[in-house]
Chain A
């Protein structure tokens, strides 16, 4: 499902299907890379908490907002359920 996305380490994203390009923050890159590698959206807050000094609630909220953005930009299918904010 992410076959069309080329994501570089420094956060540059190229969608080969639409020709659109994007910039991601370092954490955005980490999350999208996890998704591309097959991580479930529910597991993403833990990815942030493992990596940064961050409380679970902030992580869940930030992940939720990020996934909504990906959906708005049609980079993930709109039926991907966003994780619930705690």
Chain B
């Protein structure tokens, strides 16, 4: 008997070079543990698939991002973008690290309150703030970012009812050289709309311009786009100060820094091509510090960084449920987690790694989810070793947007755990049950079987 371990008999045709169309392969070939905790044991304990968040990684990253800005600008405040991931445990880590909350609906506003965030530390964005929510937020001193004229009128009416001047922030959009341009939100700076809105706001006499806000877009790979946006916000603030005599106290550059994920269109992996957060900080701080603010009127820099903070702290552990050859001879595997819980598969070329690498040749593989839908493709092409049914794979980074955009489409949503700083493992969301989904439904009596 041979002393070599058994590997599956495989044959792979060379097409130019093996790794050609994949860019460089993953930085490693397997991942057995996260923060020292065995992924195989986690699957045995909590079932598959399973979202795993690393508290250590998350806090490290938050501190790294904050330090990049604190080193370069004296007044910086982060606000956690709730829509990026509003699991309570994640939000609590962010708040514990000093972040305020940035919310875009009355639902998220409520979540932030429930997490103990004082209203004055909530930034309220979004194109639709229902009137009662807008009233509460303005009355309680939240930083409300007005998106359009109708909202400005509504805010004026509320201030009138409150009988006092109410501070507000204006959301602006502008050409920063980034595409797609997020010009459906806020007032346009390029065509003069922003300046007329500010004049109108002052003339109204009920609102006070506290801040200016601009969210350039998401997954922005060019730090200079932020430099341009910051320079223009600063210039506008200085112009407004000259015209009205009132200094603008906050400049909010939104979110959008790229995480170290890899977009489908990118050749090099995100770990190589994503700019370090220092580059964004440098561009923004340079623009603000050279804008010409008097030292005692330097505005506070607000940031709503989402994915860049949380993406890499999240991994999805999943099991292979089938091996399959496609009609064209291509190899595929079916896993037990699909795009209903991995929305970012549509944008990202996630790392897909076996938990245990048992050797054998790597082969170009399509990774399918378990949904009976053609769109359920987790990776259209990735080099993987031979896999058996039940083998575990890690998909990463998945910390941003997947939890909040997941849905109970065909399958229920899986359990989510957090590995604490000392390696303790906590369930932070149990696997969904059918009743969770059906509880809100009501079957008319005439359909009930007696």
Which residues of A does B touch, CB under 8 Å? 13, 20-28, 30-32, 48, 50-54, 62-63, 65-66, 68-70, 72-73, 75
Contacts and interface: CB of A to CB of B under 8 A. Distances in A.
Contact residues of B: prevailing secondary structure: loop
Contact of A13 (B8, B11, B323, B361): B11
Given A21-B14, A22-B14, A23-B361, A30 B6 contact: no
19 contacts: A21-B13, A22-B11, A22-B12, A23-B12, A23-B18, A23-B361, A25-B9, A25-B361, A27-B7, A27-B9, A28-B10, A28-B11, A30-B9, A31-B9, A48-B6, A50-B1, A65-B9, A69-B10, A69-B329
Interface in B6-29: 6-14, 18
Interface of B: 1-2, 4-14, 18, 323, 325, 329, 360-361, 386
B360 A73 contact: no
Contacts of A51: 1-2
Contact of B11 (A23, A54, A63): A23
Contacts, number: 76
6 smallest beta-carbon distances between A and B, as pairs = A28-B9, A27-B9, A52-B6, A66-B9, A21-B14, A25-B10
Given A52-B2, A73-B329, A26 B7 contact: yes
A53 B1 contact: yes
Contact of B325 (A22, A52, A62, A72): A72
Contacts of B4: 26, 52
Contacts of B9: 24-25, 27-28, 30-31, 48, 62-63, 65-66
Contact of B8 (A20, A23, A25): A25
B201 to A, nearest CB: 68
Contacts of A26: 4, 7
A63 B12 CA distance: 15
